[in-house]
Amino acid sequence: MTYMVKKTTVLLREDVYQALKEKAGAKKISSLINEILIEYFAKKESMFGTMKRVDVADLRDHRERL
């Protein structure tokens, strides 16, 4: 699958850069950062907490449905 890419500058601490470079190699750091970010943001999209809050005053009695 091909995605549109955007070029940007990311400022990294030296130790973070070295860890990325060791894990991915100097030419594949962008790919590794993309994988890490996609995994991070994918975890945020769970069903927990997505419904709006309901107050007891919003509840109806079953007799109101008839």
Per residue of the chain (66 residues), what is the pLDDT tens digit? 788 999 999 999 999 999 999 999 999 999 999 999 988 888 765 556 666 677 777 777 767 666
Q: CA-to-CA distance for 10 and 14, rounded, in angstroms?
A: 12
- Can you tell me which residue has the tokens 């970010």? 37
Report the length, in residues, of the chain. Answer: 66
The span from the first CA to the last CA of the chain, in angstroms, equals 53
pTM: 0.58
pLDDT of res. 19: 96
**Confidence at residue 3, expressed as pLDDT on a 0 to 100 scale:** 85
The domain locations on the chain are 11-43
